[in-house]
Structure 1
Amino acid sequence: MMKFTKWNFIFLVGGIIIYVVDIGVDFWVASKYFCQGQYCLGILILCFRGLSSLITQIFSYEWFKNDWEGTVTGKLNWIFLVHLFQCGIFIRYWFALKYGRQAAFKQNSSRNASETDLLNFIQRQAIAVVTDINMLRVFKTFLETTPQLFVQIYILMEHEKKHLYQYAAIFMSFWGISISTVDYQTSLRKSLPDKDEFQRLPQLVYLFYKLLTITSWIISISLITHLSAISSGILVIFLWICGFTWTLTQHTAFCKSKKMEYLYRAVVGIILIFTFFNIKGRKSKVFISIYYATHTVVTLVILSVYMFQKPPIIREIHFTIVSILTVLSLVLGNIFLVVYYRCFHPTVYCRAQTYSDEVDGEARQKNRVESSRFQNFIMQ
């Protein structure tokens, strides 16, 4: 069983600090827009924040309700009240700190079998709680952080005047995407049996693969928006419909209730607008190839349209720099993608029972061990 280490605890504390700072930056940026009279932009930033908070609170409460099924009703009522005030994530962080501290700093304190069993239980609880938090952070990243990044980049292209808070918002967005994607994979490895620890080199390769492919795609959507906001909206809606339809065809079973399952599928559809996200734990070589090949073609078409049509705004946004950045991110992102899946993808084949690979594996196990919610999500 993988261990929850002191480094994991330190990163957990850092994650809490980043989460709080991110909230402050969002309200700071929104207030700046309101002060400048750009009410639409301020409202848009707050809408992204509100939507992501609402959806993550819904999932968080639903998971508490599932985990505490049969417990005292008053306890769940209190949990519901906290989530109603959009503070449910802090309860999860409190549990993570509680179990994480015990797991990280009491690993060598056992003296007998009963204490060893207790420490193993605490280890599992710490990993399970942190895994739930990281799953919620993935939702937040693609419901709030990534759309905000798109808005901020669009604003930088649109307006000549640049402000410190705009760069701060972009920095926090990139940082949030980077941390959430790596933490997601780290928790996934810890949650699944027979998987190796997510080492530093694979983490870096995976980080650059996700970050660069997302960067090139967000810049491409920003360029479309400059040409035609309507076309950009149609493209985003079309991509969401495609992603949502694909989740329907996969017959996911992540949630216990049908309503929550459809909400989950809608959220995954939004994630699929920006990056690939395997929702059934099946082999996805074909799907991921089609996905990023499509992104590559669309990106190149957008750049071609700008070069041949030469819209008036092309001089204002320094198109040469933007196009080089887009192509460079696209090429390097695809290179890191290939390297990761050819060299660092944790495919494990077992004779007695086969567990699913990470988000891109296949579940064909005959016998299951006691599994967390994350394992149940992967091993459908």
Structure 2
Amino acid sequence: MLELSISSFEQKYTLQNEDAENLGHDLSTLGLFKAFSESAPQLVLMLTNIIQMQDFQLFTVIKIISSLSSLSFSVLSYHRSMRAFVPEKLKMGWSSSIIYFLWNLFLIGPRVVCVSLFASVLPCYITAHFLSLWTLLVLWAWWQKTDFMDTKAGEWLYRATVGLIWYFTWFNVASGNKKLRRIIYHMVIGADTMLLLGLWWWRRSVESARLSPLPINPYLLIVMLMIIYIIGLALKLVYYWKFHPKQPDLQKDKKDGISQMKPQAPCYDMVDSGEKPETEPESVLSASALTQRFTSGIHKRMRNMAVNFYC
């Protein structure tokens, strides 16, 4: 991005509308990565400190809910970005957006709370738990043969980031039988969440004489978290039953000369062919050639995300 911006400034070159729009989709994905690689761990740390210090004030609760809502909104923003590739009649409305936001909030919230509860009583083991589960999730992403970046090193970085997102919520990265993968994911994460919650309850019962009493009954808290998680799963089923497009024709309307975007369009295979066009040496690439090389990578990522998201 920096290289392209400098060339654009020097040669008075501006991106086409299509390129700017594709870059916007790319940035929405980076926003999702940032939310779960930075905001989610910070929220776990903050909530762990609040639990240990017993600082359950109204403003503190509002901060926690706001942070969880921000995570859910980042997922919604990415989803709405992917809806740009479907016909106008399948665009995301307010009702579907609200349901999508709520089921992400109700699934991410209990997960973050359970991880924080576990870390508050067994802080020495949370790192081992994260690294163990994260490694398995990264290997699962590798097993799905992701194809997002242009280099092997970049692809492994992408898989590592996907594993971090999966630690908190579902994120589809490959085409195929997504329903089965979602079921497996929720079974594994649900069992892991219950394990963390059970270990937290066991530790509190063993150390009850030393630990300060919670402002809420532990049994009531466990039941509330389970109910919220089940409601989140139910809302997710409703969304995919009523609102999610079923294998739509992924394209854009032709406006201002912008070409259609279909999953297997030839223009999206320019980075897969391995053929390099005969151009000037890289050191003297023109701004248009540099932009074409840059946006071709964006096109590949957009194609892969759209196909994986809907097909």
For normalisation by structure 2, the TM-score amounts to 0.71
1:184 and 1:225 map into 2 onto residues whose CA distance is 29
Q: Deviations over 1:279-299 (max 9, x none)?
A: 113331111111112222233
2:233 corresponds to which letter in structure 1?
N
Higher helix share: 1
Q: CA deviation at 1:241?
A: 0.4
Q: Deviations over 1:314-333 (max 9, x none)?
A: 72353245324312221111
**Residue 182 of structure 2: aligned partner:** 288
1:218 and 1:193 map into 2 onto residues whose CA distance is 36
Greater relative contact order: 1 or 2 (C-alpha under 8 angstroms, separation 6 or more)? 2
Alpha-carbon RMSD across the aligned residues, in angstroms, is 3.2
- For 2:167, what is the secondary structure of its paired residue? helix
Contact in 2 for aligned 1:239/1:273 (Cα 8 Å):
yes
**Residue 249 of structure 1: aligned partner:** 143
**Residue 368 of structure 1: aligned partner:** 265
**Residue 297 of structure 1: aligned partner:** 191
Q: CA deviation at 1:149?
A: 1.4
Q: Deviations over 1:97-129 (max 9, x none)?
A: x99xxxxxxxxxxxxxxxxxxxxx63x345323
* Structure 2 alignment gaps of length 5 or more: 252-261, 269-298
1:156 corresponds to which letter in structure 2?
I
1:250 and 1:340 map into 2 onto residues whose CA distance is 25
2:23 to 129, 151, 157: 129
Confirm or deny that 1:316 pairs with 2:220. no
2:21 and 2:265 map into 1 onto residues whose CA distance is 19
Contact in 2 for aligned 1:253/1:377 (Cα 8 Å):
no
Contact in 2 for aligned 1:148/1:173 (Cα 8 Å):
no
1:336 to 216, 228, 235: 235
Contact in 1 for aligned 2:138/2:160 (Cα 8 Å):
yes
1:75 corresponds to which letter in structure 2?
S
Q: How many residues are paired up?
A: 259
1:152 and 1:306 map into 2 onto residues whose CA distance is 17
Contact in 2 for aligned 1:271/1:277 (Cα 8 Å):
yes
Q: Deviations over 1:223-249 (max 9, x none)?
A: 221331233222211121011101211
Distance 1:300 1:130, change over 3 A: same
2:214 corresponds to which letter in structure 1?
E
Distance 1:152 1:367, change over 3 A: closer
Matches within 5 A, 1:1-380: 61=1, 68=4, 75=7, 122=17, 124-161=18-55, 166=60, 169-191=63-85, 196-307=90-201, 310-311=205-206, 312=208, 313=211, 315-316=213-214, 318=216, 319-348=218-247, 367-368=264-265, 370-371=267-268, 372=299, 373-379=301-307
1:130 and 1:366 map into 2 onto residues whose CA distance is 19
Q: Deviations over 1:240-290 (max 9, x none)?
A: 101110121122221112222221111111111111111113331111111
Which stretches of structure 1, 4 residues or more, deviate above 6 A after TM superposition? none
* Structure 1 alignment gaps of length 5 or more: 1-60, 79-97, 100-120, 356-364
Q: Deviations over 1:125-159 (max 9, x none)?
A: 45323212211110110011111111122112110
